[in-house]
Structure 1
Amino acid sequence: MTTAGRTDTAADAPAVAVGRYRWVVVALLFTAMIINYVDRQALGLLKADLTTEFGWSETNYADLVFWFQAAYAIAYLAWGRIIDRIGARFGFGIAFAIWQVGHMATAAAGSFGGFIASRVILGLGEGGAFPSGIKSITEWFPKKERAFATGLFNAGTNIGAIVTPLLIPALTLAFGWKMTFIVTGLMGLVWLPIWLLVYRRPREHKKVSAAELAHIESDPADPVDRIPWIRLLRYRETWAFAIGKFLIDPIWWMFLFWLPDFLGKRHGLDLKTFGPPLVVIYLLSDVGSVGGGWLSSRFMKMGWSINRARKTTMLVCALLAVPVAGAALASNLWVAVLIIGVATAAHQGFSATLYTLPGDVFPRSAVGSVIGIGGMLGAVGGMVFSKYIGGVLEDLGTYTPIFVVAASAYLLALLAVHLLTPKMEPVKI
């Protein structure tokens, strides 16, 4: 077979290098995730200042998180289907533009309703990020590399979480919180034209060699027909991914939106001082994201089945998250940082592995939709958990019950995945 003047048979020659252009796609996705998390986390870092300025209660802030997650849930489901139809290139481009508008619109918020509106727009756009990213990885990587590639691009979320506590306080102290949203939004928009210019499907890309294309397409061919969205709900594999997301996503939301508040209340940190602890926590998260993807791919290279490799990796991550139950009891700041950092690393390793499951068992044409279903359920779980967090902090004033829930979520998620997909075999369409 030939494409754009290339012969696939050339890829069979052992002397021909496979090529590495697919990693350029990972680099673009990695950068987008950095921007995504700067935009998402900025409000959480400014919680104490905005609470003072606008007189918010704990439940007010929980409501802001709730409405962001509600929009994110709806958008995640919708974007999954949209991206399966129009592709990752334009799908991601449109989603990115929407969330940058929502992020910058925060600067115009003068009331609680204004903040809710801007967070809803942000959620509607950011809901397209992971369906687009996973769709891109599925298009550009064979199954044996997807977990590692997913871990790499997902590591951008942690870099974003590292950059944010360094960037946002500096900009806020220098220019005020409103200009902070505008400046970071304009900086992020630089990514959009680069994505639109660079991204194509592998067979449409002139810089992909025949050898690399053969490597990308080395898995058995998928059915070309799209699968109706409602039909996907009949498969246990869809629910294995979705229930896993429902259980673990709320924990990451908690880390992302409430860690600055926890560090302030428990250890007396503020906008000028919580940067270094957060940087350490999210550096550890990066190790977990890349390490989890690497471990799963390494197991497969050792000859393990997808089922054994993925579930063993998730079990290791789930066990590493258990000690976070005692994070609020640690009186020493850096002991708490280490416990939480290991838990966030465990989350990212678990999450990167979980994200590969739809691509492992569904045809490429359905991956975006399955990711959308799971992401929606994950955001719904986040909505429920945000209300729980707000109520606990309002009534009890302690993070201990919250961290206890976080410690158990990953083992429960792995149990659900295993019960629903005991062999993790490709679905029969």
Structure 2
Amino acid sequence: MLGLQKATPRLKSVQLAALAMLVGAGVINYIDRATLAVANPLIREDLGLSIADMGYLLSAFLWAYAFSQLPTGAMVDKVGPRILLSLGLSLWSVAQLLGGLVQGFGQFFGARLLLGIGEAPQFPTGARVVRDWFNQRDRGLATGIFNCASSLGTAIAVPLLTFLMLAFGWRTMFVVMGAAGLAMAAVWYLVYRNPTELALTPEENAYRTQGDPPGQRTKVTFREWKLLFRFRTTWGMIFGYFGCIYLTWIYTAWLPGYLEIERHMSVKYTGWAAAVPFACGVVGGVLGGYIADILVRRGVEPLKSRRYPAAIALLGTAACTVAAAYVSSNALAIAFISASLFLVYVTSTCAWALSSVAVPTNCTASIGAVQNFGGYLGGALAPTVTGLIVQTTGSFVPALVVGALIGVISAASYLFVVDQPITAADMDSMSLPGTTLKAGATNTEIP
């Protein structure tokens, strides 16, 4: 029997460089998302925009990002991470540069749409890179490392962007971040290589693929992409991630406002208080991947090692969100919110790690992007639904309870809808006329 393969020193160098660049790009990604929110008052004053106009600008990114996921994942699987992330980084960085040059609402709206489209390849690329360069038993922690960029970027965005804005103006802030993204795009293109672009040894290829089903393809077809939607596992991942990102964006969009309006904290204190929970999210994101790897090494099936922690952590997030809503102490509220973000990033990492074991290799970025589409439908709805509830009731408590209920439903999706891995044989069988898969087979078809 073939023993466990280990990564060679060259593979370890490739892995380290890839993860470092993914984290760097991800941090820039999330800082860029925050530029409009940080500069909101100054932009409204300079351009003569209303609060409603700012709401449209903030939502433009989220909807463009969500719907761009559907084609982007398949493009990553077909063209490869090196080209797609280079193009995505370049596009979103140009959009940031344009944000510093706009003269009115229409131009800004277009720039925000471009930002959402350009940022779409970031996390599907990360999922494919991990699948390409890491053994199955090592993919969870690697996923946690690249995924922690989302909470890390959010944690440092406000202090960094505030400094740039106060020191140089909001337009320069946009231009500086755009230039940083273009530099990152150049680094990624010059340094990163797809596995097919390197002469790998048999031992290196054995490490990368050991434990994966045999006969893996390298590129996805449109037929295979469409077939993903005929499996319950795909829909379970979509609905599960909806609640994860819904809860994440309640806090991302409304945490400072919640602390000021509901908890009556000063603006000065709010900035630091809001950063603490997202710092906890960094730890949760990395730990979620580590847990998945430990479970695999102890003999748990790879899919279960992801979906069970994802569901349990999401239930914990819901419970802590309700607790934060009802406690009277501000310190306890911050503690429960920190626990919520710690746990929701455990779920996020496990969800992305699912994409590396739930489908054939050539569909990794595709399933990750489809899942992310579902998540960011929730992300796009969360700020609006929360705002409407607060406006109607005069309190954040019902809005947080609604978010918790959505989290519970999504946790149930991971537990009861996500089924078995989708194999290449499943997909080939589904393409035959009159063929369906029954419950209890390798996977279960959605009619």
Q: What do the CA deviations read for 1:285-341 (whole angstroms, capped 9, x no partner)? A: 011100111111111112222243223312331232122124344554433222212
Contact 1:288 1:345 in 2 (8 A): yes
Which structure 1 segments of 5+ residues have no match? 1-8
**Cα 1:251–1:189, aligned 2, differ >3 Å: closer, same or farther?**
same
Q: CA deviation at 1:209?
A: 6.1
**Cα 1:359–1:307, aligned 2, differ >3 Å: closer, same or farther?**
closer
Q: Quote the Cα distance in structure 2 between the aligned partners of 1:190 and 1:122.
A: 16
Q: Quote the Cα distance in structure 1 between the aligned partners of 2:402 and 2:114.
A: 29
State the AA in 2 paired with 1:188: G
Contact 2:101 2:171 in 1 (8 A): yes
Is 1:325 the counterpart of 2:325? The answer is no
Is 1:114 the counterpart of 2:107? The answer is yes
Q: Quote the Cα distance in structure 2 between the aligned partners of 1:395 and 1:154.
A: 35
Is 1:404 the counterpart of 2:401? The answer is yes
Contact 1:296 1:313 in 2 (8 A): yes
- Higher mean C-alpha displacement, 78-87 vs 111-120: 111-120
When the two structures are superposed, what TM-score results if normalisation uses the length of structure 1? 0.88
Q: CA deviation at 1:222?
A: 4.0
Contact 2:311 2:414 in 1 (8 A): no
- Higher mean C-alpha displacement, 288-297 vs 155-164: 155-164
Q: Which of residues 210, 216, 236 in structure 1 aligns to 2:208?
A: 216
Q: CA deviation at 1:12?
A: 8.0
**Cα 1:182–1:332, aligned 2, differ >3 Å: closer, same or farther?**
farther
Contact 1:360 1:426 in 2 (8 A): no
Q: CA deviation at 1:102?
A: 1.5
After the TM superposition, which residues 152-301 of structure 1 pair with which residues of structure 2 at under 5 Å, given as runs? 152-205=145-198, 211-218=203-210, 219-224=212-217, 226-227=220-221, 228=223, 229-266=225-262, 267-270=264-267, 272-301=268-297
SS at match of 2:355: helix
Q: CA deviation at 1:87?
A: 0.7
Aligned length: 417
Q: Quote the Cα distance in structure 1 between the aligned partners of 2:129 and 2:152.
A: 20
Q: Identify which of structures 1 and 2 has the higher relative contact order when contacts are C-alpha pairs closer than 8 Å and 6+ apart.
A: 1
Q: What do the CA deviations read for 1:228-271 (whole angstroms, capped 9, x no partner)? A: 2222211222212112222222222232222232233333443x
State the AA in 1 paired with 2:205: L
Q: Quote the Cα distance in structure 1 between the aligned partners of 2:243 and 2:259.
A: 24
Q: Which residue of 2 aligns with 1:35?
A: 28
SS at match of 1:362: coil
Q: What do the CA deviations read for 1:97-147 (whole angstroms, capped 9, x no partner)? A: 111112222223343333322211110111111111111111111222222
Q: Which residue of 1 aligns with 2:351?
A: 354
**Cα 1:308–1:377, aligned 2, differ >3 Å: closer, same or farther?**
closer
Q: Which residue of 1 aligns with 2:299?
A: 303
Q: CA deviation at 1:402?
A: 2.2
Q: What do the CA deviations read for 1:160-192 (whole angstroms, capped 9, x no partner)? A: 112212201111121222211111221232211
- Root mean square deviation of aligned Cα: 2.7
- Higher mean C-alpha displacement, 97-106 vs 46-55: 46-55
Q: Quote the Cα distance in structure 2 between the aligned partners of 1:109 and 1:343.
A: 37
Is 1:102 the counterpart of 2:98? The answer is no
Q: Quote the Cα distance in structure 2 between the aligned partners of 1:275 and 1:210.
A: 52
Q: CA deviation at 1:393?
A: 3.5
Is 1:363 the counterpart of 2:360? The answer is yes
Q: Which residue of 2 aligns with 1:3?
A: none
Q: Which of residues 418, 422, 429 in structure 2 aligns to 1:421?
A: 418
Q: Which residue of 2 aligns with 1:379?
A: 376
After the TM superposition, which residues 128-147 of structure 1 pair with which residues of structure 2 at under 5 Å, given as runs? 128-147=121-140
When the two structures are superposed, what TM-score results if normalisation uses the length of structure 2? 0.85
Is 1:69 the counterpart of 2:62? The answer is yes
Contact 1:19 1:209 in 2 (8 A): no
Q: What do the CA deviations read for 1:382-405 (whole angstroms, capped 9, x no partner)? A: 333333123223333432222112
SS at match of 1:108: coil
Contact 2:311 2:415 in 1 (8 A): no
Q: Which residue of 2 aligns with 1:56?
A: 50
